[in-house]
Amino acid sequence: MSKFKLITDGLVKNNPTFVLLLGMCPTLATTTSAINGLSMGLATLFVLVLSNMAISALAPAVPDKVHIPVYIVVIATFVTLLQLLMQAYTPAMYETLGLFIPLIVVNCIVLGRAEAFANKHGVLESACDGLGVGLGFTCSLTVLGLVREILGSGSAFGWNFIGGHDGMLAFVMAPGAFLCLGYLMVLFNKFLKKN
């Protein structure tokens, strides 16, 4: 499989949000605005690429019975690393997402890619797979966040276009997250079938 195809597969065919339905907790919780969705996506992308690479390098040396604990330790290390870096260099972003960063450890996308792909493939392929799936997750979260922000707050990427009035608040809260996700999933799969 070519490296390019690995990346596009993660974006479309294996899209973690709309096709595989993985990582729903951060998806629903953080997409209150496009910026939040984008930041959460990028944070996951960072962890995904690094953990995929580290795990594909480690895999041959890891006994089968302890492979899950080893992977989790590796993933948790990268997440904590990310948390420290965000706290130090992007404190504003950390304030919004801080609560959800530790949850990346148990995000099934990360462990899922480690299990399904990284431990059977080389470092470079795993990096591409991580990049593809991570980008897929980032795009999905940004789109979902954008739709919810437009409907719920009447703004896009923080730019308000309804002059300070309130949007449909339900879309910023949990019920709106489920509704938007459902409709986007329908649209995405319809588009996917056509092609």
Binding residues vs another protein (CB under 8 A): 32-33, 36, 58-67, 69-70, 73-74, 76-77, 80-81, 84-85, 87-89, 91, 95, 99, 152-153, 164, 166-167, 169, 172-173
Rounded Cα gap, residues 40 and 47, in angstroms: 11
CB of 21 to another protein, least distance (A): 23
User: In terms of C-beta density within 10 A (0-12 exposed, 13-18 middle, 19 or more buried), how is residue 194 classed?
Assistant: exposed
**DSSP letters for 158-170:** TEESSTT----GG
Nearer to another protein, 11 or 74 (CB): 74
**Smallest Cα–Cα separation from 40: which of 120, 118, 140?**
140
CB of 165 to another protein, least distance (A): 10
Nearer to another protein, 76 or 106 (CB): 76
Q: How many CA atoms lie within 13 A of 175 on its CB side?
A: 3
Nearer to another protein, 70 or 108 (CB): 70
**Smallest Cα–Cα separation from 138: which of 10, 6, 5, 2?**
10
DSSP 65: G
Nearer to another protein, 88 or 194 (CB): 88
CB of 75 to another protein, least distance (A): 10
Rounded Cα gap, residues 57 and 118, in angstroms: 9
CB of 141 to another protein, least distance (A): 15
CB of 31 to another protein, least distance (A): 10
Nearer to another protein, 20 or 141 (CB): 141
